[in-house]
Amino acid sequence: MALTFAAHKKPRTLDRVSQRRQKIITGIDQQVALLDQHRQGQSAKGAWFWRGDDGRYFLSIRYGRTEIELAKGMYSIECADLAALDEALKEVRSMVLKGKLDESLQKASDTLRAKFKAD
């Protein structure tokens, strides 16, 4: 294997957009682990997903305790079963990495910061 050298150094700090993305990615990865626990019949405390009365699952994406608006007035994703829920988490993770939720993350971050300033 040939090594490819680069002149880049690891940045000491990430910009705010990258920080928000990393925070939500970490949360999504935790939800995937909770989904695996749920499949094994264990309690999934702190899960962003829940089962509706009709058997469908719903998933809300959270930044801190704030739910992210995924589309105009829409705060959750409807999933037919656990497999669809797993796919939805992967798709949202991909969207975050591509920057498609940056505006919603910015709004959630501003809301969260405003709560701290008010106290």
The pLDDT value recorded for residue 102 is: 92
Q: Which residue has the higher pLDDT, 62 or 110?
A: 62
Q: Which residue has the higher pLDDT, 8 or 81?
A: 81
The pLDDT value recorded for residue 118 is: 61
User: What is the H or E stretch that residue 38 is in?
Assistant: helix 16-39
Pairwise CA distance, residues 34 & 28, whole Å: 10
Q: Determine the Cα angle at 109 with ends 106 and 78, to 5°.
A: 75
User: What mean pLDDT do residues 27-48 have?
Assistant: 94
pTM of the complete model beyond 0.85: no
User: What mean pLDDT do residues 20-42 have?
Assistant: 95
Answer yes or no: is pLDDT of 108 > 90.
no
